[in-house]
C-alpha cells in the first residue's frame, strides 16, 4: 500500500499539519518516500441522511444500484454515510468495501400501521414499535421511526416514542425520527430521541432543549427547497399551505438551530447521490456561518457518528482542496484528492 503524506492547513483549527497514513490510521511519524499531497485538509465528508440502493420509493434494494450510489458519494469526497432507513437489510459488504464509504445504518424504516411508502419498512401497532426498534438497534446501532406522515395523520404519541427511546438506549443504540409536522417533532424532542430528520415545522422554542439533550438536527434543506415549485403548482389545500409555510420557514429554523448550539448534520435524503456539497451550500445560504456549514458535512458529523478527524490514530479519511473551502464553497465540487481508509481513491 502506498504511504500518503498530507501537508497543509487542516480544519477545523486551520493549523498546518503533516500527516502520514499508517494503514487506515493517521500518524505524525514521518515516512520516507511517501506520496506528498498538499492543500487545505478536511476530515472526509459525511452525508448523514442518504438512502442508497433503490431508484424509487417502494423499490426493493438492488445491490448494483447500491454500489453505484456509494461510488457517487466517494467521487464527491464522502467517506462516511449514515443511512437512516434502507429498502432492506444491506449486504455484508455495505460499509466494509475498502473502495466505498464507511457506513452506519438503521435498517428498514419503522412506521405506524397505515403510514409510509408501500413496500418499504416495517409497519406495526404502538405496542410492537418499541420491541421492533430495539431489535433493529441491537443489530445495527440505529432505529429509524416515522413519527408523522401525511397531513392530518396522527403522529406517534410521545409516550410511545419515549418507550422506543428507552428500549433502544438500553441496548446501546440510537433513535432517528422522521418528522415533517409540528406535532411529531415536538413529541420526538420531548421523548429524547437522538436525531430529528427533516424537522419541518419544528417549534424554534424546542431548540434549547435539543441542544441541552444532545439531539441532532438533519434538516435536508436543499431537497426540501427543491420541492417548493411542485407545492406551488398544486391546487390550494391545507396540506399545500402547511408545506409552503414550513419549507419557507426552514432556512431560518436551521440558522437558529446552529446559533442555539444544536448539532446540525448535512444530509441529502434523495437522488442523485453525491450531492453533499449542494446541501452544505444550502446551509450557508440559510445563514449558517461557513465554518459551521462545513462542519455539518465533515468534522462535526464525524464526531457525532463516533469518528475522529485529522489527528494521530484517527481513521485515515480526508479531502484535500486547493484553497480554503470556507471562503469559496465552489471548491467542494473540485477536490484535489480524496483519501479513504488510507488509500487515495480520487
Say yes or no: do domains 4-42+310-344 and 45-304 share a fold. no
* Domain range annotation of the chain: 4-42+310-344, 45-304
Cα dihedral value 85, 152, 214, 81, nearest 10: 20
For the entire predicted model, the pTM comes to 0.96
One digit per residue, pLDDT tens: the chain, 346 residues? 899 999 999 999 999 999 999 999 999 999 999 999 999 999 999 999 999 999 999 999 999 999 999 999 999 999 999 999 999 999 999 999 999 999 999 999 999 999 999 999 999 999 999 999 999 999 999 999 999 999 999 999 999 999 999 999 999 999 999 999 999 999 999 999 999 999 999 999 999 999 999 999 999 999 999 988 888 888 889 988 998 999 999 999 999 999 999 999 999 999 999 999 999 999 999 999 999 999 999 999 999 999 999 999 999 999 999 999 999 999 999 999 999 999 999 9
Q: Cα–Cα distance between 185 and 166 in angstroms, integer? A: 18
Q: Does domain 45-304 have CATH number 3.20.20.140?
A: yes
Q: Cα–Cα distance between 178 and 162 in angstroms, integer? A: 15
Q: Cα–Cα distance between 254 and 268 in angstroms, integer? A: 15
Q: Does domain 4-42+310-344 have CATH number 3.30.1330.40?
A: no
In angstroms, what is the C-alpha Rg of the chain? Answer: 20
Q: Cα–Cα distance between 198 and 135 in angstroms, integer? A: 24
For residue 208, what is the enclosing H or E element? helix 207-213
DSSP 132: H
- Sheet containing strand 174-179, edge to edge, reads 122-124, 110-112, 142-146, 174-179, 195-198, 216-218
Positive or negative CA dihedral for 230, 232, 235, 236? Answer: positive
Amino acid at each position: 500500500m502506498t504511504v500518503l503524506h498530507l501537508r497543509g492547513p487542516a480544519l477545523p483549527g486551520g493549523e498546518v499539519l503533516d500527516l502520514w497514513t499508517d494503514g487506515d490510521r493517521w500518524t505524525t511519524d514521518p515516512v520516507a518516500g511517501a506520496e506528498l499531497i498538499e492543500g487545505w485538509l478536511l476530515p472526509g465528508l459525511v452525508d448523514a441522511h442518504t438512502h442508497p440502493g433503490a431508484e424509487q420509493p417502494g423499490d426493493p434494494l438492488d445491490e448494483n444500484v447500491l454500489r453505484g450510489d456509494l461510488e457517487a458519494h466517494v467521487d464527491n469526497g464522502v467517506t462516511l454515510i449514515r443511512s437512516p432507513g434502507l429498502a432492506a437489510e444491506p449486504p455484508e459488504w455495505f460499509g466494509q468495501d475498502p473502495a466505498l464509504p464507511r457506513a452506519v445504518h438503521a435498517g428498514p424504516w419503522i412506521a405506524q400501521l397505515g403510514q409510509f411508502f408501500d413496500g418499504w419498512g416495517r409497519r406495526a401497532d404502538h405496542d410492537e414499535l418499541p420491541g421492533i426498534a430495539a431489535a433493529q438497534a441491537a443489530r445495527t446501532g440505529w432505529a429509524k421511526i416515522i413519527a408523522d406522515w401525511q397531513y392530518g395523520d396522527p403522529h406517534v404519541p410521545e409516550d410511545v416514542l419515549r418507550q422506543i427511546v428507552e428500549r433502544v438506549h438500553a441496548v446501546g443504540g440510537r433513535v432517528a425520527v422522521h418528522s415533517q409536522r409540528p406535532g411529531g417533532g415536538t413529541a420526538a424532542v420531548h421523548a429524547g430521541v437522538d436525531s430529528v430528520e427533516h424537522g419541518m415545522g419544528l417549534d424554534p422554542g424546542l431548540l434549547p432543549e435539543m441542544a441541552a439533550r444532545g439531539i441532532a438536527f438533519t434538516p435536508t434543506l436543499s431537497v426540501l427547497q427543491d420541492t417548493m415549485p411542485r407545492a406551488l403548482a398544486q391546487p390550494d389545500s391545507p396540506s399545500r399551505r402547511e408545506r409552503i409555510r414550513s419549507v419557507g420557514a426552514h432556512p431560518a429554523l436551521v440558522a437558529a438551530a446552529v446559533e442555539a448550539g444544536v448539532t446540525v448534520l448535512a444530509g441529502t435524503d434523495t437522488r442523485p447521490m453525491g450531492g453533499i456539497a449542494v446541501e452544505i451550500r444550502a446551509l450557508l445560504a440559510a445563514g449558517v456561518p461557513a465554518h459551521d456549514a462545513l462542519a455539518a458535512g465533515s468534522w462535526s458529523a464525524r464526531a457525532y457518528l463516533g469518528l475522529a478527524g485529522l489527528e494521530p490514530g484517527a481513521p485515515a479519511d480526508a479531502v484535500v482542496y486547493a484553497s480554503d473551502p470556507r471562503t469559496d464553497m465552489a471548491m467542494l465540487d473540485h477536490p484535489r484528492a480524496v483519501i479513504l481508509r488510507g488509500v487515495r481513491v480520487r
